């Protein structure tokens, strides 16, 4: 029997990070998640999460706007609707509300969880079926200090939890950033893959200089060196160097991927549920990327366990993640609001296989971290 949506609740949840996480545009000491709980008339509940980085430092949606816009505009469009078609429900949302992709992604996640529990299948099955049970996952070094980053990376390699590392750069002069990266690469050696994320901080000429030096230092990948919508510059850079480029902020959805493909971009694409408006749209972006010969990477906006779990379900349905993933968000937080944490081991994370997202809320922890 088809169920009907009866309640939608949102809340802000603040959890401190294990150390400051420094990006080119902000430094994070706490992560704020918008947690969504959708209930149906059969007593089931779906969990969703909408998360961004650094308030409004990273993008146009803040945790507070995500919550407010779900409560005021998006949730009323879903109340009393039947759950039989998630695509029909997300079309209903996109016809009435522009943008607000993170808010839409949070709702889509909760709908998928609810539908999965209703049908007794994991979210990966709703998305076409898992091809992989274990998703490779790197770690991001972003303490801002070269020696601390080397110590952190060596401990993670020794524990077997991660062997690939992404370094956040772009806030200092290009020469200082390159020296920092080169020192870490030299200390970790060839067994570790070292990549950098510039988060749009360079113009094209700085990127030309920086990429040449990073290539020389043995770095494997440069993520979003130039501003998001400068698709021509990114494409020219991708053709100039053998070190590959990963497009991140420049590609939110399938249509952005198409823009890059038309310009001859030959690198990889960071897929993110938050940019695309949900896992279903992130997988549309993956299809255009693969059709254009681009490589794939499972990206994050540093979501907690709920947003991370739904991303892992989505990435598990892709034939190949050429550059693995960065689904480490829960590990950056001092605590979690779910009962059974995601399982990280052997340089990756397991795809949950219980119905829905396969995770359960810890009500005491939620009450502890919920913003009053």
Q: Which residues form the interface with ligand MUC (CB under 6 A)?
A: 23, 53, 140, 142, 168, 197, 199, 248, 299-302, 326
| Residues identified as active-site | 168, 326
Query: CB of residue 211 vs Mg ion: minimum separation in angstroms?
Result: 16
Cα separation, 95 vs 224, in Å, equals 31
Which residue, 127 or 221, is less far from Mg ion as judged by CB? 221
Query: CB of residue 24 vs ligand MUC: minimum separation in angstroms?
Result: 9
- Of 257, 267, 253, nearest in space to 323 by CA: 267
Which residue, 220 or 248, is less far from ligand MUC as judged by CB? 248
H-state helical runs in the chain: 63-69, 75-78, 86-96, 101-119, 123-126, 146-159, 174-188, 204-216, 231-240, 254-262, 273-276, 279-291, 305-315, 363-369
User: Which of the choices ligand MUC, Mg ion, none does residue 140 contact, using the CB cut-off of 5 to 8 A by kind?
Assistant: ligand MUC
- Tokens 């294990």 -> residue: 18
- Tokens 């909760």 -> residue: 110
- Give the nearest residue (CB) to Mg ion: 248
Q: Is 303 in the site for Mg ion (CB under 5 A)?
A: no
What distance separates the 2 farthest-apart alpha carbons in the chain?
63
Query: CB of residue 246 vs ligand MUC: minimum separation in angstroms?
Result: 9
Query: CB of residue 166 vs ligand MUC: minimum separation in angstroms?
Result: 7
Cα separation, 221 vs 244, in Å, equals 5
Q: Which stretch binds Mg ion (CB under 5 A): 112-120, 237-245, 248-256, 344-352?
A: 248-256
- DSSP secondary structure of 289-303: HHHTT-EEEE--S--
Which residue, 282 or 302, is less far from ligand MUC as judged by CB? 302
User: Which of the choices ligand MUC, Mg ion, none does residue 257 contact, using the CB cut-off of 5 to 8 A by kind?
Assistant: none
Q: Please give the C-alpha separations between residue 169 and each of 114, 210, 212, 356, in angstroms, as whole numbers.
A: 39, 11, 15, 37
Q: Is 197 in the site for Mg ion (CB under 5 A)?
A: yes
Contact 70, 107 (CB under 8 A): yes
Both structure tokens of 43: 């007593």
User: Which of the choices Mg ion, ligand MUC, none does residue 32 contact, using the CB cut-off of 5 to 8 A by kind?
Assistant: none
Which residue, 140 or 280, is less far from ligand MUC as judged by CB? 140
Query: CB of residue 23 vs ligand MUC: minimum separation in angstroms?
Result: 6
User: Which of the choices ligand MUC, Mg ion, none does residue 161 contact, using the CB cut-off of 5 to 8 A by kind?
Assistant: none
Which residue, 20 or 128, is less far from ligand MUC as judged by CB? 20
Q: Which residues 128-187 are close enough to bind Mg ion by CB under 5 A?
A: none
Cα separation, 36 vs 324, in Å, equals 28
Both structure tokens of 147: 């020696």
Q: How many residues bind Mg ion (CB under 5 A)?
A: 3
| Residues of the shown chain interacting with Mg ion in the complex, contacts defined by CB under 5 A | 197, 223, 248
């Amino acid at each position: 029997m088809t169920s009907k949506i009866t309640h939608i609740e949102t809340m802000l949840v603040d959890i401190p990070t294990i150390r400051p996480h420094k990006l080119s545009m902000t430094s994070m000491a706490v992560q704020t998640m918008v947690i969504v709980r959708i209930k149906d008339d059969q007593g089931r509940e779906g969990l969703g999460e909408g998360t961004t980085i650094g308030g409004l430092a990273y993008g146009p949606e803040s945790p507070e706007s995500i919550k407010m816009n779900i409560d005021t505009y998006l949730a009323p469009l879903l109340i009393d609707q039947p759950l039989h078609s998630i695509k029909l429900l997300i079309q209903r949302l996109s016809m009435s509300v522009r943008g607000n992709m993170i808010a839409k992604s949070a709702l889509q996640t909760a709908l998928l969880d609810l539908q999965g529990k209703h049908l007794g299948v994991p979210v990966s099955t709703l998305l076409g079926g898992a091809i992989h049970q274990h998703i490779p996952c790197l770690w991001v070094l972003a303490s801002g200090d070269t020696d601390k980053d080397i110590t952190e990376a060596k401990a993670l390699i020794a524990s077997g939890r991660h062997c690939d590392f992404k370094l956040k750069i772009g806030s200092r002069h290009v020469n200082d950033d390159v020296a920092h990266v080169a020192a870490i690469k030299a200390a970790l050696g060839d067994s570790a893959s070292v990549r950098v994320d510039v988060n749009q901080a360079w113009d094209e000429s700085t990127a030309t200089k920086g990429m040449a030096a990073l290539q020389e230092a043995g770095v494997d990948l440069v993520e979003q060196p130039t501003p998001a919508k400068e698709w021509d510059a990114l494409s020219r850079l991708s053709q100039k160097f053998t070190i590959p480029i990963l497009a991140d902020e420049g590609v939110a959805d399938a249509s952005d991927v198409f823009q890059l493909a038309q310009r001859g971009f030959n690198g990889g694409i960071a897929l993110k549920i938050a940019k695309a408006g949900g896992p279903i749209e992130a997988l549309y972006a993956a299809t255009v990327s693969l059709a254009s010969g681009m490589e794939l990477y499972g990206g994050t906006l540093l979501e907690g366990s709920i947003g991370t779990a739904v991303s892992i379900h989505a990435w598990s349905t892709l034939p190949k993640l050429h550059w693995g993933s960065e689904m480490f968000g829960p590990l950056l937080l001092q605590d979690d609001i779910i009962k059974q944490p995601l399982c990280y081991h052997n340089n990756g994370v397991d795809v949950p296989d219980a119905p829905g997202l396969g995770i359960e809320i810890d009500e005491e922890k939620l009450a502890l971290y919920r913003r009053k």
